[in-house]
Amino acid sequence: MEATDPRANLLRLADERGVSLSSLSALIGRNASYLQQFVRKGSPRKLEEGDRLTLARFFGVAESLLLGEMRGGEKEKSSISSRVAGNWVDVPRLALDASAGPGAFAGAEQPFGALRFSGDWLRGMGLNPARLTTIAVAGDSMHPTLNDGDEILVDQSRQALRDGIHVVRVGDSLLVKRLDTALPGRVRLKSDNTAYDPIDLAPEDVTVIGRVVWKGGRL
């Protein structure tokens, strides 16, 4: 068995992709210094399986590169996989819905798969791959812009209260709404479907998860 150094591999992969360890820590739902401590201080001693899987999908490499163990011959195979997928980014899908209707309970935000995007396209859009997630739309309040079952790409680096379509948390619900910040001291959550009335809230009652920058769905 040929041993590898998962910390060196992580640093190399991050450098090749042009992302910081703090951004990658956010990708796996950890505090900003988590992977820095893993690399520099050896704490934790190894990454948890879920974290390894998420990072491996993001980089398009075998999970074993981040575990530190690999059977003979697998290193070459993983390197080939990395080159083939080098210009593609696997954006994790979160196992929850953003309600475009009355509201859906926001459960544990754990990735259950990924959607693959061109790295060149993402960079051309000014997007940081380490700050992207995809989730499904539930409901019809954003019809015809967004439909029930659509997949949306959410840029979590854009979490300010400003106009545009965003995923927001209100209480225990995730909503996808068009934000209107023109009212003094209030934030208006608007639906594109005129059958739904707007919702006016205090800014402190609305947490922006991210801005919706792309959608995909069935015809």
- The tens digit of pLDDT for each residue in 22-68 reads 888 888 888 888 998 888 888 888 888 888 888 887 877 777 788 86
pLDDT computed for residue 212 by the predictor: 95
Q: How confident is the model at residue 112 (pLDDT cuts 50, 70, 90)?
A: low
Cα separation of the two ends of the chain: 49
Q: List the beta bridge partners of residue 69.
A: 3
Single residue among 86, 108, 136 that ends a domain in this structure:
86
Domain boundary residue among 39, 59, 86? 86
Check whether residue 98 and residue 204 sit in a common domain. yes
Specify whether 127 is located in the same domain as 194. yes
Residues 165-217: tens digit of each pLDDT: 999 988 878 899 999 999 899 999 999 999 999 999 999 999 888 999 999 98
- Tell me, yes or no, whether 120 and 165 share the same domain: yes
Segment 37-40 long-range contacts (CB within 8 Å, at least 24 positions apart): 38/7, 38/10, 39/7, 39/10, 39/11
Overall average pLDDT of the 10-25 stretch: 86
pLDDT of residue 63: 77
Is 159 found in the same domain as 103?
yes
The verdict on 59 and 135 lying in the same domain is no
Higher local confidence (pLDDT), 194 or 95: 194
Amino acid making up residue 104: A
- Binned at pLDDT 50, 70 and 90, residue 114 comes out as confident
- pTM (2 d.p.): 0.59
12 and 97 part of one domain: no
Asked if the model's pLDDT at residue 97 lies above 90, the reply is no
- Domain containing residue 44: 2-86
114 and 12 within one domain: no
Model confidence at 98: pLDDT above 80:
no
Q: Are residues 75 and 14 in the same domain?
A: yes
Same domain, residue pair 96 and 193: yes
In the predicted model, is pLDDT for residue 80 greater than 90? Answer: no
Number of domains making up the chain:
2
Q: How far is CA 65 from CA 23, 79, 155, 196, in A?
A: 19, 10, 27, 49
What CATH code is carried by the domain that includes residue 135? 2.10.109.10
